[in-house]
Every structure is written in structure tokens, then in C-alpha cells.
């Protein structure tokens, strides 16, 4: 198990440790890192408050602050979700470890390895994407300074902040100090986002793998029954034993998925609400700033990151739903007709339960799936058109 953990889950452990979200960290270390990240995020929020005061009630000015302000809020929600639910996250991780120890065949190991490799690939790609996107969002503000050197004009290129904020100092004189502070702080915030989201994706992939293992066991119920019956009085007892093992695997998958749902459904509701509002306002900012190319590019990048981030979760949510409901199809497509009639009836209970899908939701209202993803995007566009009508 140690090799498998180091090979497939070491990246997740490192990121969670950096963000102070690893459940097995010492309490002092975890509190220090959570506190450090909180200070970094608040150091970005204070200048935004200064910008809000400077707006002096101007709605258009205030709307410019909202997208990045909401982004900071989501980071804090993710950070303290993991911190306050440390015991549940530890239970999920213990569950993941023990599931590897309960595998019974080489085929089941291969199934688990496939899903673990997928989760590692998803985490690596997501980590790279988020760090690069955050860096690009901030670095767009460097373009005027670069152009003033590379392609100087009669008038200097207009300088703007790395994000909408007021630092109470001369922007031109202290720009690079501000840039370094924003860049470092946002990358720290991205570590929290990556840790939180990668952890959930790994757990969702693991839930899918347990469903897949349980489905494999149901599909192979009639395999090697004669050999197994040598040490047991009758073939019926062999089938009962095999079905009991398969049902137990299915029960563990259900329990894991339900624990994952109960841990995050409240905070996901807050995040979905914030994302929908922020996306609508960001679309409005793109329209209002079409004449400012660099600003429009930055807000477009912000919208793309939001959409990809939401799609990332929706895709994983869809996979969880599909794996949970596919159990009945795997049982139906198995050699159930070779099983004694008395044992066949036991399979009906599993098929009936699998008709009720497992899912990851936001407040028990929004279910993460591809269909819900299109609904959120459409809602954001609708709110954007309403806001645009008031401009």
C-alpha cells in the first residue's frame, strides 16, 4: 500500500500539506499554514476595501471589484471547509487506504490502479492549469511596462493594477513591489484551490473505482464456482458467499460517496452561488471594457478559468452518477441465469438500490453533472443580459 500511495497520491499529499489541509499533519503545523494563507488573502482584500471606499458609491466602479473579491471569498471558503472538516477528511482518507487492502484479485488491482492513475493525471493537469492561469491573469498588467521599453510611443502606455485595488501609494513608483505582492499572494491562494479541488476529484475517482470493483465482482459471480465449492458443502453456499462479498463492496462504495457528499454539500452551495454571480458580472465587465484590450483579455481569461473549473467538477460528478447507476446494468449483463433462483433474488435488492444514483451536490439542490453545468452557464448569461440592460 505504501508504494501505491507514494506513486498515485503523493502529489495530492504534498499540495494538501502546503495548504495546511492534510488531515495527518501536526495541529500546530496545520494552524500555522492556514493562518499564513489567511493573512496572504486578507492582504489582497484590504486594498480592495480601499478601492471600494475610493469608488464613493459609483456602481460601475464597485462592479469592477466584485469578480476578484468573490474569488478571494471562494478561496477562504475552500480553506476553512477543509480545516473545519478535518475529521471527515481523515475518515475519507482512511477509507481510501483500507479499500486497497480489501482487493481480492489481480483484475481488481488493475481496476483500482487505472482510476488512481486517472486521478493523478487530473490533479497534475489541474495544478498546472490553475498556476499558469493565475500567473497570466496578474502578468497581463506587465504588458504596458514591457511595451514602453520594446515599442515606445510619444505617450506612455496606460498602466493598470494587477487586479482592481487601491494600495494608497503611487502606482507607477511602486508598481513592481505591488506586482510581486499580488503575484505571490494569488499563487498562494491558488495552492488552496488546487488542494481542495484535487482532493475532491481524487475521492470522486476513488468512489468510481469502488463501484467498478463491486460491478466486476457481480459480473464474475459464476466464475470458478466448482473450484470454490470443494471446501464448501453446496454451490448455493458459494454463491451466497460471493454475493455477500460483492454486496459489501457495493455498500462501501455507497458509504464513501455519501460521506463525500455530506462533507462538502453546504460549502458547494455557497461556491456555486458565488460563481454564478461572479461569472455574470465578469461577462458584463468584458462588454463594458471592449475598448480596453488588455483589461478585456484579463476578464475573458477570468471567465474561461471559471467555466473550465466548473466543467472540471461537473465532469467528475457525471462520472460518479454513471458509475453508481451502471451497477444494475453490470448485474443484468452478468451470468445471473447460472445462479440458483434463491440467490438471484438477492441481486434484486442491489439493482433496486442502484436505480437511485449517488452524486455530489451543492446544498442538495444543484447536482454536479454535465446537464447542470449547462444550466449554470445559461443562468450566468441570463443574469448578464439583465445587468447589461441597466447599463
CB 204, CB 319: distance < 8 Å: yes
Res 229 pLDDT > 50: no
β-strands 366-367, 361-362: how paired?
antiparallel
Q: Which residues of 328-347 are buried (b: 16+ CB within 10 A; e: fewer)?
A: bebbeebebeebeeebeeeb
**Please, are residues 354 and 328 in contact by the beta-carbon 8 Å criterion?**
yes
Residue-level pLDDT at 43: 94
Query: Residue 349 is placed in which grid cell?
Result: 435488492
Note the pLDDT tens digit of each residue in 94-110: 999 888 988 888 899 99
Per-residue pLDDT tens over the stretch 313-365? 899 999 999 999 988 888 888 777 777 777 777 788 888 888 888 888 888 88
Mean pLDDT of 68-85: 90
Name the pLDDT band for 232 (thresholds 50, 70, 90): very low
Instruction: Find where cell 490553475 sits.
Output: 130
Q: Is the pLDDT of residue 15 over 90?
A: yes
C-alpha cell at 238: 458459494
pLDDT at 39 exceeding the cut of 90: yes
Alpha helix stretches (DSSP H) within 220-230: 225-228
Residue 231 pLDDT grade (very low, low, confident, very high; cuts 50, 70, 90): very low
Q: Which three cell numbers, joined as nine digits, stand for 32?
A: 500555522
Q: Are 181 and 46 in contact (CB under 8 A)?
A: no
> What is residue 304's three-state secondary structure?
helix
Question: Residue 61 pLDDT > 90, yes or no?
Answer: no
Angstrom distance (rounded) from CA 124 to CA 134: 16
Q: Which three-class secondary structure state does DSSP give residue 204?
A: helix
Amino acid at each position: 500500500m505504501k508504494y501505491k500511495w507514494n506513486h498515485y497520491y503523493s502529489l495530492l499529499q504534498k499540495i494538501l500539506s502546503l495548504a495546511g489541509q492534510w488531515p495527518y499533519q501536526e495541529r500546530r503545523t496545520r494552524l500555522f499554514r492556514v493562518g499564513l494563507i489567511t493573512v496572504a488573502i486578507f492582504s489582497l482584500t484590504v486594498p480592495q476595501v480601499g478601492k471600494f471606499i475610493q469608488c464613493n458609491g459609483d456602481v460601475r466602479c464597485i462592479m469592477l471589484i466584485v469578480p476578484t473579491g468573490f474569488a478571494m471569498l471562494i478561496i477562504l471558503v475552500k480553506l476553512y471547509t477543509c480545516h473545519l472538516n478535518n475529521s471527515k477528511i481523515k475518515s475519507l482518507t482512511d477509507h481510501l487506504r483500507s479499500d486497497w487492502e480489501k482487493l481480492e484479485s489481480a483484475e481488481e488491482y488493475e481496476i483500482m490502479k487505472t482510476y488512481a492513475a486517472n486521478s493523478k493525471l487530473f490533479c497534475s493537469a489541474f495544478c498546472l492549469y490553475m498556476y499558469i492561469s493565475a500567473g497570466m491573469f496578474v502578468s497581463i498588467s506587465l504588458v504596458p511596462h514591457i511595451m514602453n521599453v520594446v515599442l515606445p510611443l510619444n505617450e506612455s502606455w496606460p498602466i493598470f493594477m494587477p487586479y482592481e485595488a487601491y494600495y494608497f501609494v503611487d502606482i507607477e513608483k511602486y508598481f513592481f513591489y505591488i506586482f510581486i505582492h499580488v503575484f505571490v499572494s494569488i499563487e498562494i491562494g491558488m495552492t488552496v484551490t488546487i488542494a481542495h479541488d484535487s482532493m475532491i476529484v481524487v475521492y470522486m475517482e476513488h468512489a468510481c473505482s469502488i463501484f467498478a470493483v463491486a460491478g466486476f465482482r457481480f459480473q464474475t459471480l459464476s466464475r470458478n464456482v466448482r473450484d470454490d465449492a470443494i471446501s464448501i458443502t453446496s454451490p448455493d453456499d458459494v454463491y451466497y458467499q460471493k454475493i455477500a462479498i460483492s454486496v459489501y463492496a457495493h455498500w462501501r462504495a455507497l458509504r464513501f460517496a455519501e460521506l463525500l457528499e455530506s462533507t462538502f454539500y453546504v460549502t458547494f452551495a455557497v461556491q456555486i452561488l458565488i460563481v454564478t454571480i461572479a461569472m455574470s458580472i465578469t461577462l458584463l465587465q468584458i462588454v463594458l471594457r471592449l475598448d480596453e484590450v488588455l483589461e478585456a483579455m484579463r476578464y475573458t481569461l477570468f471567465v474561461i478559468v471559471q467555466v473550465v473549473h466548473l466543467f472540471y467538477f461537473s465532469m467528475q460528478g457525471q462520472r460518479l452518477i454513471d458509475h453508481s447507476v451502471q451497477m444494475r446494468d453490470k448485474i443484468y449483463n452478468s451470468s445471473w441465469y447460472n445462479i440458483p433462483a434463491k440467490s438471484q433474488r438477492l441481486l434484486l435488492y442491489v439493482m433496486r438500490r442502484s436505480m437511485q444514483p449517488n452524486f455530489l451536490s451543492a446544498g442538495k439542490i444543484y447536482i454536479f453533472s454535465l446537464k447542470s453545468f449547462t444550466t449554470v452557464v445559461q443562468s450566468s448569461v441570463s443574469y448578464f443580459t439583465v445587468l447589461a440592460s441597466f447599463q
